[in-house]
Amino acid sequence: MLCGPESNEQRSELQCGICGRRTELFRLPGRAGSLCLSCSADQAISEQLAIEIDAATLSGQETESLFAEFAQLSQRFLKRAQSA
């Protein structure tokens, strides 16, 4: 049985940093922590969407569809975290 601060750290390393699921984990470049495949994909998409929203805003382009996609992505994160 694991105990002490080191064991808690090891136990949390086995869980996705977003949804908490215990599954195979992946590390995104430049990010601390590990995520499951679904969360790592959604995290990468959310970072790209944020960049695209900023660029569209600065250039005066329409951002409504980008915000809608970002909202859907946020809902997926929330559902996944609540179901774990």
pLDDT score at 70: 95
Could you tell me the pLDDT band of residue 5, with boundaries at 50, 70 and 90? very low
Which of the pair, 37 or 32, is modelled with greater confidence?
37
pTM of the predicted model over 0.75: no
Could you tell me the pLDDT band of residue 8, with boundaries at 50, 70 and 90? very low
Mean pLDDT of 50-76: 95
Per-residue pLDDT for 6 more than 60?
Answer: no
Structure tokens at 52: 């695209």
pLDDT score at 67: 95
Compute the radius of gyration of the chain from its Cα atoms.
16
